[in-house]
Every structure is written in structure tokens, then in C-alpha cells.
Amino acid sequence: MMESAGLFMLLAVAAVMISTGLPSWIVLIGVAMLFASAGAAFDVFPAALLTALPSRVIGLLEHDLLQALPLYVFMGALLHRLPLADTVFRVFSRGMRRTPAGRPLAGLALSVLLAPMNGSAGASAAMLSRIVQPRLVAGGTSVAQSAALTCISSTLGVVIPPSLVLILLGDAMLRAHTEAINFTGVSASMTTSMRIINTQDVFHGAMIPAAMLLALCALVTWLVHRRAPHISAPASTVSRIDIIVALSTTAFIATLLAAVALGRLYAVEAAATGGVALVIYGLISRAFSREIWGEVLHDTMAVTGALFALLLAATVFTLIVRAFGTDRWIAAGLKGLGDNQWLLISIVLSALALCAFVLDAFEMIFVVIPLLLPPLLVQVPDAVWVAVLTLLILQMSFTVPPFGYAVMMVRNLTHQSLDTSKLIRALAPYLAAQIVVLAVVLAFPQILWREDSVPSASPLNISVPDADASEMLSRQLNQNQETEDKKPASNEK
């Protein structure tokens, strides 16, 4: 079955990435071009299909949301290079010094504050491994427990709005929800009453589960460390200026994040404001030097370039997957399972969890989610619920040892010897907390904060066109091209 070629493309990508270590965008483009050549050679789809790539890329890069991507990366580079995070952690630790769990709780609080601004779990892991983990070990925390806290803390940006992962997932959910409704062939009036999910809906839906997860993680951290042997490490010097900087930073970031999460500010505006504020802090504190500024710009350009390359490669990859008809094949397979939402959800979430062991959050959002979620949303139209479950599954997969993305990052960044069995035992309570939150959201989707007009009821009536797959794809590409051609005229107006 040629329709299943897209799954073989995913398997080929995973195999090449694991065996060669090549950048994911190179692997995605290489595999896509190889399968595209085979598809065109065997007349599965016309070779002229590839001429749709320029318009798809141009339409993709015109998206206003992508302006936030380099700004978030810029903030993450500044937080990594400037001493601001170190100052905040020292002040938090000093404020909670009366309990042996003070430093671990301070590290968790720092990650809650800065993880949404860091841009990625990798950036958070690098910052926490440099600032928090050595101080925890110096204060008597075991290497395994400090690594476990760093792992869970570095993934909090996946679920706490308005992180970059949430922003990009919100855009991916908008596209997936639109495709699902178009796939059903519902009428225009029905589509109007059934509002498409947007990024703000994802922000709102993630708030209650994120609060639950943070409360459970804080409880686990306190229970694990409250009776731990405490070593009197040299007290960190905290000046009055440090306290003022830490408190004002906390208030500023909390206000900024709340404004975006509640829809008072756009993500681009907030990211630009945060970047400017960090630059001003670096200038006032004289923390900037020519070397540090060069490192910040280099990190920003390198990570931004890698993300845009990944986005473009994913666009090429998904075009070829859709040309083979794999998306419609998956939709037909899920439809054949009937209307059992629990079965459908469990299958798709299991597939996402398996993919997350090989791919990071951005690769998942750009490559896997556009294939799996549109057919799922046809059968399970509660897009907010599906988005939150996806976030929770991604975060959990990143912290499952020994292959979780955050676990491998922290292991590489930890300079001391780290026993795998001890790390698994240290991570177990945090994984239990994640499972509890996931179970609650699965069992009680009504607890999520959502807009009333976002659909959350029964499956949509599926009306799949009987047209040939290649003809459908050509018609969709022609419609996309007509839309692109009309954009300049509308913009001038």
C-alpha cells in the first residue's frame, strides 16, 4: 500500500537520526526527496507536485507568529549568559533557608519563572544544570535527586503558558482543527458556529493542568528533601541590590506571562519587551562585554537558523507524506476503529509518546502532530482537550528514563557520575505526579478552562470525498496558490 509510505518515511527518519547523528532538518529533507523521487518514478503523484513547495514556504514564512521564535531564542540566550538567573536563585534560596528543602524548592521556583521564557527544554536544562544542580549537590542533595529535579524543572516550559512550545502547538492545533472540519465537509454555517481553536484557547486550557502539576511537583520536592541530610554549604552573599533585582524581576516576568496568557498582550510583544528588559539589565549591571554579547548573538542566530531550517524541512516532508495519501490513510484507519474515543485517544497518545523518545518538541509539532491530530479531531472534536493531553504526553515523554529528551540532556550536562537506577528512583515520584495529572485530565475534560464556542461534544459527521487522492491534492494546491496570489491585493487594501 503506497498510502502507508509516510509511516516508512518516519521510520527512516528515526533510523537515520539515531545511526548518523545528522541534524534533523537534513535528515527530513533527504528522506523526503528520496521518497518523492520514488513516488514520481512510480506515478504515485506527478513530479509537478514539487512546484508547490515555493508557495508553501512563502506562505509559511509570512506567518506573524514566527516573529516570536527568534525573540524567544534571544531571551533564552540572554538568560543563559547573564547572571540574572543566578541572582534570583540565590535570593530564593536565602528566603527558604530555614528548611532543608529550601534550595530544591528555589530551583523549582526559578524554573517556573524562567522556563516559559527560555524557549526550549534544552535551554532550560542547560541553565539549570549550570546554576541550580551544582548548588544542590553542594548543599547535600544527591547527584541523582538533583538531576531528577533538573529534568522535571527543564520541561515545565512545555506546559506553562505562554512558552514557545505552547505557541507553536497552538498554531499547529489551529491548522489541524481546520483540516479536521474541512475533512468532514460541514457547511459554512456550521463551521461558523464551531469556532476553530486558536493559541489563546491552548493557553487557557493548559493553565489548570499546569497549576496542578506545579503543586504536585512542589509537594514531591518538599517530601523528598525535607528530611534529607543537610550540609552547611558556604552561605551565598545576597545584597540589598540582589533582593531588589530578584523581586522586581519576579514581578515583571509574572506580569508579562500573565498578560500573554490572558490575552492582554501578543506573544511577539511580550517576547520583544522581555528581550529589551534583559538587554537593559545587562547594560545597567555591566554584565555585558564584547565576548558575552557575541556569544548571545551567535547562540540566537544558530538556534533560530536551526529552528527555521527544521520548519522548512518539515514543510517539505509533510507535503510528500500527504502526496502519498498517508494522512487520509491514517484518518480511514482511525475511522474504522469506530466511535470509541478512549481507544482513539489512547492509540494517538501512545504514538506521540513513542515518537517523543526520538524527536524533540519542535520536531513533534512540525512533523508528527500535522499527521496524527487532524484525523483524531474528526472523531474527537474537543480540540482544547486534545491539545492539553498532547502537551502532557510530550512533557512526560521527555522525563522518562533512560531515553527521555530532558533525561539525556541532563546526563550529558552532569559532570559527576550518575547511576541510571538511582536516577530512575529519583524521577519516579515526579513521573507519578505527571501520571496523576494526565489521568485527571483524561477522566474530567470539563475541568479545563475553555471558550464556550469551542466544540467539546460528539464526533463530527464524516463525509470523505470519493475523489482520487492525487486529484484532491492538486485541487488543494491550486486553491492554496490562488489564496497566495490574492494576498498582495488584500494587503494593499
Domain annotation covers residue 120: yes
State the pLDDT at residue 469: 42
Annotate 441-470 with b (16+ C-beta within 10 A) or e (fewer): bbeebeebebeeebbbeebbebeeeeeebe
Domain annotation covers residue 75: yes
Q: The domain containing residue 282 runs over which residues? A: 2-454
Domain annotation covers residue 463: no
State the pLDDT at residue 433: 94
Give yes or no for a contact between 381 and 197, defined as CB atoms under 8 angstroms apart. no
Domain annotation covers residue 484: no
Give yes or no for a contact between 171 and 199, defined as CB atoms under 8 angstroms apart. yes
State the pLDDT at residue 457: 43
Q: Give how far Cα 140 sits from Cα of 146, 150, 218, 229, 492, Å.
A: 10, 15, 19, 6, 64
Q: Give how far Cα 125 sits from Cα of 115, 399, 414, Å.
A: 9, 12, 10
Domain annotation covers residue 477: no
- Long-range CB contacts (< 8 A, 24+ apart) of 435-439? 435/396, 436/216, 437/209, 437/212, 437/213, 437/216, 437/392, 438/389, 438/392, 438/393, 438/396
Domain count, the chain: 1
Rounded to the nearest 10 degrees, how much is the dihedral formed by the CA atoms of 6, 11, 17, 18? Answer: 170
Q: From the DSSP assignment, how many helices (H) and strands (E) are in the chain? A: 23, 0
Domain annotation covers residue 346: yes
pTM, rounded to two decimals: 0.82
State the pLDDT at residue 171: 87
State the pLDDT at residue 185: 56
C-alpha 319: how far from its chain's center? 22
Domain annotation covers residue 143: yes
Report how far residue 259's alpha carbon sits from residue 267's, in angstroms, rounded to the nearest whole number: 9
State the pLDDT at residue 236: 61
Residues in the chain with pLDDT values less than 50? 186-193, 453, 457-473, 475-477, 479-493
- Nine-digit cell at 162? 505562554
Domain annotation covers residue 491: no
